[in-house]
Amino acid sequence: MPVHQDIQACIQQCQQVEAQLRNMAAADVNPQAKKMLSEGAHHLRLCIEECQWSLQQLQAATAAAALA
């Protein structure tokens, strides 16, 4: 499997975990647990955004190399 597909699969898995964390936070009655779950989801969202940026850069480099 090409690297960009591996990265895309990882991003999708992380998006699923982020959604699970947000659902858990919404369902939890403990304010501290709710905050920590939300914070974890937020940090995972930041990681997803960085991976998406890296994937875009990789795809751009691959496209440029194909044109050369």
CA atoms in the 13 A half-sphere facing the CB of 12: 6
Per-residue pLDDT of 45-68, as tens digits, reads 999 999 999 999 999 998 898 888
What is the value of pTM for the model shown? 0.86
9-26 as b/e, with b when 16 or more CB fall inside 10 Å? eebeeeeeebeebbeebe
Q: How many domains are there within the chain?
A: 1
Could you list the residue range(s) of the whole structural domain that residue 57 is in? 3-67
Per-residue pLDDT of 4-38, as tens digits, reads 899 999 999 999 999 999 999 999 999 999 999 99
